[in-house]
Structure 1
Amino acid sequence: MTNLFFVRHAHSVYTPDELERPLSDKGLLDAKRVADCLKSKNIEVAISSPYKRAIQTIKGVADHFHLKIQIEPGLRERKLSKEPVSDFQTAIRKVWEDPEFCFEGGESNMVAQKRGIGAILKILRTYEGKNIVLGTHGNLMVLIMNYFDPQYDFAFWQSLQMPDIYQLTFSGESLAAVKRIWIS
Protein backbone atom coordinates (compact mmCIF):
# COMPACT_ATOMS: atom_id res chain seq x y z
CA MET A 1 0.00 0.00 0.00
CA THR A 2 1.11 3.54 -0.75
CA ASN A 3 0.06 6.33 1.61
CA LEU A 4 -0.23 9.85 0.27
CA PHE A 5 -0.55 12.46 3.02
CA PHE A 6 -2.12 15.43 1.24
CA VAL A 7 -1.39 18.62 3.18
CA ARG A 8 -3.41 21.65 2.21
CA HIS A 9 -1.16 24.62 2.88
CA ALA A 10 -1.59 26.75 5.98
CA HIS A 11 -2.82 30.36 6.02
CA SER A 12 -0.75 32.69 3.86
CA VAL A 13 -0.19 36.41 3.54
CA TYR A 14 -1.95 37.67 0.42
CA THR A 15 0.32 38.98 -2.29
CA PRO A 16 -0.35 39.11 -6.03
CA ASP A 17 2.71 36.88 -6.55
CA GLU A 18 1.14 33.42 -6.25
CA LEU A 19 4.46 31.58 -6.46
CA GLU A 20 6.19 33.45 -3.62
CA ARG A 21 3.22 34.08 -1.30
CA PRO A 22 4.52 33.15 2.19
CA LEU A 23 2.74 31.74 5.21
CA SER A 24 1.38 34.20 7.74
CA ASP A 25 2.47 34.07 11.39
CA LYS A 26 -0.57 31.86 12.09
CA GLY A 27 0.35 29.72 9.08
CA LEU A 28 3.89 29.21 10.37
CA LEU A 29 2.53 28.10 13.75
CA ASP A 30 0.10 25.72 12.03
CA ALA A 31 2.95 24.32 9.90
CA LYS A 32 4.62 23.26 13.18
CA ARG A 33 1.36 21.51 14.13
CA VAL A 34 1.39 19.73 10.76
CA ALA A 35 4.90 18.46 11.48
CA ASP A 36 3.83 17.28 14.95
CA CYS A 37 0.79 15.54 13.45
CA LEU A 38 2.88 13.59 10.93
CA LYS A 39 5.90 12.71 13.13
CA SER A 40 4.54 9.20 13.76
CA LYS A 41 3.78 8.43 10.10
CA ASN A 42 7.24 7.28 8.93
CA ILE A 43 7.29 9.68 5.99
CA GLU A 44 9.79 8.51 3.36
CA VAL A 45 9.30 11.07 0.58
CA ALA A 46 8.39 14.79 0.61
CA ILE A 47 6.94 16.38 -2.52
CA SER A 48 5.42 19.83 -2.91
CA SER A 49 3.78 22.25 -5.24
CA PRO A 50 6.32 24.89 -6.31
CA TYR A 51 4.37 27.54 -4.34
CA LYS A 52 6.22 28.85 -1.28
CA ARG A 53 3.23 28.46 1.05
CA ALA A 54 2.91 24.74 0.23
CA ILE A 55 6.65 24.15 0.67
CA GLN A 56 6.69 26.03 4.00
CA THR A 57 3.73 24.00 5.27
CA ILE A 58 5.53 20.64 4.87
CA LYS A 59 9.08 21.85 5.60
CA GLY A 60 8.92 20.78 9.25
CA VAL A 61 7.82 17.28 8.22
CA ALA A 62 10.66 17.01 5.71
CA ASP A 63 13.16 18.33 8.27
CA HIS A 64 11.98 15.85 10.91
CA PHE A 65 12.58 12.92 8.55
CA HIS A 66 15.75 14.44 6.99
CA LEU A 67 14.15 14.61 3.55
CA LYS A 68 14.74 17.00 0.68
CA ILE A 69 11.47 18.42 -0.64
CA GLN A 70 11.03 17.51 -4.29
CA ILE A 71 9.08 20.03 -6.38
CA GLU A 72 6.23 18.71 -8.51
CA PRO A 73 4.73 21.42 -10.76
CA GLY A 74 1.60 19.31 -11.28
CA LEU A 75 0.63 19.88 -7.62
CA ARG A 76 0.38 23.66 -8.04
CA GLU A 77 -2.99 25.28 -7.41
CA ARG A 78 -5.41 25.57 -10.27
CA LYS A 79 -5.29 28.86 -12.11
CA LEU A 80 -8.79 30.30 -11.87
CA SER A 81 -8.35 33.16 -14.32
CA LYS A 82 -5.80 35.45 -15.92
CA GLU A 83 -6.98 38.42 -13.84
CA PRO A 84 -8.21 38.40 -10.22
CA VAL A 85 -11.94 37.63 -10.04
CA SER A 86 -14.25 40.11 -8.33
CA ASP A 87 -16.15 37.44 -6.37
CA PHE A 88 -14.03 34.38 -5.63
CA GLN A 89 -16.85 32.28 -4.11
CA THR A 90 -19.13 32.80 -7.13
CA ALA A 91 -16.27 32.10 -9.55
CA ILE A 92 -15.19 28.90 -7.81
CA ARG A 93 -18.79 27.68 -7.60
CA LYS A 94 -19.17 28.23 -11.36
CA VAL A 95 -16.15 26.10 -12.27
CA TRP A 96 -17.37 23.30 -9.98
CA GLU A 97 -20.88 23.43 -11.48
CA ASP A 98 -19.50 23.12 -15.01
CA PRO A 99 -16.25 21.08 -15.04
CA GLU A 100 -15.46 22.17 -18.61
CA PHE A 101 -15.93 25.91 -17.98
CA CYS A 102 -12.94 28.17 -17.50
CA PHE A 103 -12.47 31.89 -17.13
CA GLU A 104 -10.17 33.63 -19.59
CA GLY A 105 -6.60 32.50 -18.97
CA GLY A 106 -7.69 29.99 -16.32
CA GLU A 107 -8.05 26.23 -16.02
CA SER A 108 -11.32 24.34 -16.02
CA ASN A 109 -11.83 21.71 -13.33
CA MET A 110 -11.23 19.05 -15.98
CA VAL A 111 -7.91 20.55 -17.08
CA ALA A 112 -6.65 21.11 -13.52
CA GLN A 113 -7.79 17.65 -12.45
CA LYS A 114 -6.04 16.01 -15.41
CA ARG A 115 -2.80 17.83 -14.51
CA GLY A 116 -3.08 16.82 -10.84
CA ILE A 117 -3.91 13.20 -11.63
CA GLY A 118 -0.94 13.00 -13.98
CA ALA A 119 1.31 14.07 -11.10
CA ILE A 120 -0.31 11.65 -8.64
CA LEU A 121 -0.08 8.65 -10.97
CA LYS A 122 3.61 9.43 -11.58
CA ILE A 123 4.17 9.62 -7.80
CA LEU A 124 2.28 6.35 -7.19
CA ARG A 125 4.35 4.55 -9.84
CA THR A 126 7.67 5.99 -8.67
CA TYR A 127 7.17 5.52 -4.92
CA GLU A 128 4.93 2.47 -4.65
CA GLY A 129 4.66 1.20 -1.08
CA LYS A 130 6.03 4.41 0.47
CA ASN A 131 4.60 7.01 2.86
CA ILE A 132 4.66 10.33 1.04
CA VAL A 133 3.81 13.82 2.27
CA LEU A 134 2.44 16.13 -0.43
CA GLY A 135 2.34 19.91 0.00
CA THR A 136 -0.53 21.17 -2.12
CA HIS A 137 -3.62 23.36 -2.36
CA GLY A 138 -7.24 22.84 -1.39
CA ASN A 139 -8.89 23.11 -4.77
CA LEU A 140 -6.42 20.86 -6.56
CA MET A 141 -6.41 18.36 -3.69
CA VAL A 142 -10.19 17.99 -3.88
CA LEU A 143 -10.13 17.73 -7.68
CA ILE A 144 -7.68 14.84 -7.31
CA MET A 145 -9.79 13.19 -4.61
CA ASN A 146 -12.91 13.72 -6.78
CA TYR A 147 -11.27 11.80 -9.64
CA PHE A 148 -11.11 8.70 -7.44
CA ASP A 149 -14.41 9.25 -5.60
CA PRO A 150 -17.11 11.78 -6.63
CA GLN A 151 -18.22 12.35 -3.03
CA TYR A 152 -15.28 14.77 -2.79
CA ASP A 153 -16.94 17.78 -4.37
CA PHE A 154 -17.49 21.52 -4.00
CA ALA A 155 -19.25 21.11 -0.63
CA PHE A 156 -16.35 19.00 0.61
CA TRP A 157 -13.89 21.65 -0.58
CA GLN A 158 -15.84 24.29 1.38
CA SER A 159 -15.49 22.18 4.55
CA LEU A 160 -11.68 22.04 4.42
CA GLN A 161 -9.56 23.70 7.06
CA MET A 162 -6.37 25.61 6.36
CA PRO A 163 -4.16 23.65 6.83
CA ASP A 164 -5.77 20.23 6.53
CA ILE A 165 -4.38 16.72 6.12
CA TYR A 166 -5.94 13.75 4.37
CA GLN A 167 -4.32 10.32 4.11
CA LEU A 168 -5.17 8.55 0.86
CA THR A 169 -4.16 4.90 0.79
CA PHE A 170 -3.65 3.24 -2.57
CA SER A 171 -3.30 -0.32 -3.75
CA GLY A 172 -1.39 0.21 -6.97
CA GLU A 173 -3.32 3.06 -8.62
CA SER A 174 -6.65 2.23 -6.95
CA LEU A 175 -7.85 4.28 -3.99
CA ALA A 176 -8.41 1.95 -1.04
CA ALA A 177 -9.14 4.37 1.83
CA VAL A 178 -9.35 8.04 2.80
CA LYS A 179 -8.83 9.27 6.34
CA ARG A 180 -8.71 12.80 7.70
CA ILE A 181 -5.87 13.05 10.18
CA TRP A 182 -5.70 16.78 10.89
CA ILE A 183 -6.91 17.79 14.34
CA SER A 184 -8.03 21.43 14.18
Structure 2
Amino acid sequence: MNTNIYLVRHAMSSYTSDELNRPLSEKGYRDAERIRSILLTENIDTVLSSPYKRAIQTVEGIAKQIGTEIILEDGFKERKIAEGLVENFESDITKLWTNFNYAFKGGESNLEAQNRGILSLNKVLNKHYGKNIVIGTHGNIMVLIMNFFDSKYHYDFWKHLSMPDIYKLSFDDNKLAEVKRIFKDKT
Protein backbone atom coordinates (compact mmCIF):
# COMPACT_ATOMS: atom_id res chain seq x y z
CA MET A 1 0.00 0.00 0.00
CA ASN A 2 1.33 3.43 -0.94
CA THR A 3 1.79 6.30 1.47
CA ASN A 4 2.18 9.63 -0.29
CA ILE A 5 4.06 12.51 1.30
CA TYR A 6 3.62 15.95 -0.26
CA LEU A 7 6.60 18.05 0.80
CA VAL A 8 5.53 21.67 0.38
CA ARG A 9 8.24 24.29 0.45
CA HIS A 10 6.66 27.42 1.88
CA ALA A 11 5.59 30.33 -0.28
CA MET A 12 7.35 33.70 -0.38
CA SER A 13 7.50 35.45 2.99
CA SER A 14 7.92 39.04 4.09
CA TYR A 15 11.38 39.29 5.59
CA THR A 16 11.70 39.89 9.31
CA SER A 17 14.48 38.82 11.64
CA ASP A 18 11.90 36.81 13.61
CA GLU A 19 12.47 33.45 11.92
CA LEU A 20 9.60 31.69 13.73
CA ASN A 21 6.90 34.28 13.06
CA ARG A 22 7.85 35.53 9.58
CA PRO A 23 4.55 35.73 7.64
CA LEU A 24 3.80 35.19 3.99
CA SER A 25 4.01 38.15 1.63
CA GLU A 26 1.07 39.17 -0.57
CA LYS A 27 2.48 36.99 -3.35
CA GLY A 28 2.95 34.21 -0.81
CA TYR A 29 -0.74 34.32 0.11
CA ARG A 30 -1.73 34.13 -3.56
CA ASP A 31 0.60 31.18 -4.06
CA ALA A 32 -0.76 29.45 -0.95
CA GLU A 33 -4.19 29.57 -2.59
CA ARG A 34 -2.72 27.91 -5.69
CA ILE A 35 -1.18 25.25 -3.43
CA ARG A 36 -4.60 24.64 -1.83
CA SER A 37 -6.22 24.17 -5.25
CA ILE A 38 -3.57 21.72 -6.41
CA LEU A 39 -3.60 19.67 -3.22
CA LEU A 40 -7.39 19.54 -3.23
CA THR A 41 -7.14 17.14 -6.20
CA GLU A 42 -4.81 14.78 -4.27
CA ASN A 43 -7.27 13.37 -1.68
CA ILE A 44 -5.26 14.63 1.28
CA ASP A 45 -5.91 12.94 4.64
CA THR A 46 -3.55 14.74 7.02
CA VAL A 47 -1.67 18.04 7.15
CA LEU A 48 1.50 18.60 9.15
CA SER A 49 3.81 21.58 9.24
CA SER A 50 6.96 23.06 10.56
CA PRO A 51 6.10 25.37 13.47
CA TYR A 52 7.30 28.37 11.41
CA LYS A 53 4.45 30.72 10.48
CA ARG A 54 5.26 30.88 6.75
CA ALA A 55 5.13 27.07 6.44
CA ILE A 56 1.85 26.89 8.38
CA GLN A 57 0.28 29.66 6.30
CA THR A 58 1.28 27.90 3.08
CA VAL A 59 -0.66 24.71 3.95
CA GLU A 60 -3.48 26.05 6.11
CA GLY A 61 -5.80 26.43 3.11
CA ILE A 62 -5.80 22.70 2.35
CA ALA A 63 -6.19 21.88 6.06
CA LYS A 64 -9.29 24.12 6.27
CA GLN A 65 -10.64 22.73 2.99
CA ILE A 66 -10.52 19.12 4.24
CA GLY A 67 -11.63 20.05 7.75
CA THR A 68 -8.54 19.08 9.71
CA GLU A 69 -6.16 20.74 12.11
CA ILE A 70 -2.49 21.22 11.17
CA ILE A 71 -0.23 19.00 13.26
CA LEU A 72 2.97 20.87 14.12
CA GLU A 73 6.15 18.81 13.85
CA ASP A 74 9.40 20.40 14.98
CA GLY A 75 11.45 18.01 12.86
CA PHE A 76 10.29 19.74 9.68
CA LYS A 77 11.47 23.22 10.69
CA GLU A 78 14.27 24.78 8.66
CA ARG A 79 17.78 23.81 9.52
CA LYS A 80 19.64 26.28 11.67
CA ILE A 81 22.72 27.43 9.77
CA ALA A 82 24.45 29.25 12.61
CA GLU A 83 23.93 31.16 15.81
CA GLY A 84 22.98 34.60 14.57
CA LEU A 85 23.50 35.88 11.03
CA VAL A 86 26.02 34.34 8.67
CA GLU A 87 28.53 36.55 6.87
CA ASN A 88 28.06 35.21 3.35
CA PHE A 89 24.99 33.02 2.98
CA GLU A 90 25.92 31.64 -0.45
CA SER A 91 29.45 30.53 0.45
CA ASP A 92 28.39 29.35 3.91
CA ILE A 93 25.56 27.18 2.60
CA THR A 94 27.90 25.79 -0.07
CA LYS A 95 30.37 24.82 2.66
CA LEU A 96 27.63 22.98 4.57
CA TRP A 97 26.57 21.02 1.47
CA THR A 98 30.21 20.17 0.68
CA ASN A 99 30.84 18.64 4.10
CA PHE A 100 27.77 16.98 5.63
CA ASN A 101 29.43 16.86 9.07
CA TYR A 102 30.46 20.51 9.21
CA ALA A 103 28.48 22.94 11.37
CA PHE A 104 28.93 26.62 12.11
CA LYS A 105 28.86 27.67 15.76
CA GLY A 106 25.34 27.19 17.10
CA GLY A 107 24.10 25.65 13.84
CA GLU A 108 23.26 22.19 12.53
CA SER A 109 25.36 20.21 10.13
CA ASN A 110 23.59 18.76 7.11
CA LEU A 111 23.81 15.35 8.76
CA GLU A 112 22.24 16.56 12.01
CA ALA A 113 19.40 18.35 10.20
CA GLN A 114 18.87 15.37 7.88
CA ASN A 115 18.68 12.95 10.80
CA ARG A 116 16.11 15.19 12.50
CA GLY A 117 14.00 15.38 9.34
CA ILE A 118 14.18 11.63 8.66
CA LEU A 119 13.23 10.80 12.24
CA SER A 120 10.10 12.94 11.85
CA LEU A 121 9.34 11.53 8.40
CA ASN A 122 9.57 7.96 9.70
CA LYS A 123 7.14 8.82 12.52
CA VAL A 124 4.71 10.20 9.94
CA LEU A 125 5.08 7.16 7.67
CA ASN A 126 4.39 4.79 10.55
CA LYS A 127 1.48 6.75 12.02
CA HIS A 128 -0.23 7.59 8.71
CA TYR A 129 0.49 4.43 6.70
CA GLY A 130 -1.46 4.29 3.43
CA LYS A 131 -2.54 7.94 3.62
CA ASN A 132 -1.88 11.12 1.63
CA ILE A 133 -0.02 13.54 3.88
CA VAL A 134 0.91 17.18 3.29
CA ILE A 135 3.97 18.52 5.11
CA GLY A 136 4.58 22.27 5.11
CA THR A 137 8.33 22.74 5.34
CA HIS A 138 11.40 24.63 4.09
CA GLY A 139 13.78 24.23 1.18
CA ASN A 140 16.94 23.12 2.93
CA ILE A 141 15.38 20.51 5.22
CA MET A 142 13.15 19.30 2.39
CA VAL A 143 16.13 18.58 0.13
CA LEU A 144 18.10 17.04 3.00
CA ILE A 145 15.21 14.61 3.58
CA MET A 146 15.09 13.77 -0.14
CA ASN A 147 18.91 13.44 -0.21
CA PHE A 148 18.69 10.70 2.42
CA PHE A 149 16.99 8.52 -0.21
CA ASP A 150 18.94 9.64 -3.29
CA SER A 151 22.12 11.72 -3.50
CA LYS A 152 20.90 13.44 -6.69
CA TYR A 153 18.97 15.75 -4.36
CA HIS A 154 21.81 18.05 -3.35
CA TYR A 155 22.93 21.68 -3.29
CA ASP A 156 22.31 22.35 -7.01
CA PHE A 157 18.86 20.76 -6.75
CA TRP A 158 18.09 22.97 -3.73
CA LYS A 159 19.20 26.10 -5.63
CA HIS A 160 16.62 25.38 -8.34
CA LEU A 161 13.62 24.94 -6.05
CA SER A 162 10.88 27.49 -6.42
CA MET A 163 9.06 29.18 -3.58
CA PRO A 164 6.59 27.52 -3.18
CA ASP A 165 7.32 24.08 -4.55
CA ILE A 166 5.74 20.64 -4.06
CA TYR A 167 7.32 17.22 -4.36
CA LYS A 168 5.25 14.06 -3.96
CA LEU A 169 7.21 11.19 -2.41
CA SER A 170 5.43 7.84 -2.81
CA PHE A 171 6.41 5.10 -0.38
CA ASP A 172 5.62 1.43 -0.88
CA ASP A 173 5.74 -0.23 2.55
CA ASN A 174 7.90 2.66 3.80
CA LYS A 175 10.43 2.32 0.96
CA LEU A 176 10.65 5.28 -1.39
CA ALA A 177 9.21 4.18 -4.74
CA GLU A 178 8.81 7.43 -6.68
CA VAL A 179 9.44 11.18 -6.50
CA LYS A 180 7.36 13.52 -8.63
CA ARG A 181 7.28 17.30 -8.78
CA ILE A 182 3.64 18.39 -8.80
CA PHE A 183 4.09 22.15 -8.58
CA LYS A 184 6.74 24.69 -9.49
CA ASP A 185 6.22 28.42 -9.20
CA LYS A 186 6.98 29.93 -12.60
CA THR A 187 6.52 33.57 -11.64
TM-score normalised to the size of structure 2? 0.97
Q: In percent, how many aligned pairs have the same letter? A: 52
Q: Distance in 1 between matches of 2:97 and 2:163?
A: 20
Amino acid at match of 1:162: M
Q: Match for residue 98 of structure 1?
A: 99
For residues 1-184 of structure 1, what are the structure 2 equivalents within 5 Å?
A: 1-184=2-185
CA RMSD of aligned residues (A): 0.7
Amino acid at match of 2:39: L
Q: Is 1:58–1:135's contact at 8 Å kept on the other side of the alignment?
A: yes
5+ residue gaps, structure 1, are none
Secondary structure at the residue paired with 2:183?
A: coil
Moved more, 9-18 or 115-124: 9-18
Secondary structure at the residue paired with 1:99?
A: coil
Paired positions, count: 184
5+ residue gaps, structure 2, are none
Amino acid at match of 1:66: G
Secondary structure at the residue paired with 1:79?
A: coil
What per-residue deviation string (whole Å, max 9, x for no partner) do you get for residues 34-90 of structure 1? Answer: 001111101000000000000000011111111110000000000000011121111
Q: Is 2:3–2:174's contact at 8 Å kept on the other side of the alignment?
A: no
Amino acid at match of 1:6: L
Q: Is 1:124–1:172's contact at 8 Å kept on the other side of the alignment?
A: no
Q: Distance in 1 between matches of 2:43 and 2:90?
A: 37
Q: Distance in 1 between matches of 2:65 and 2:23?
A: 21
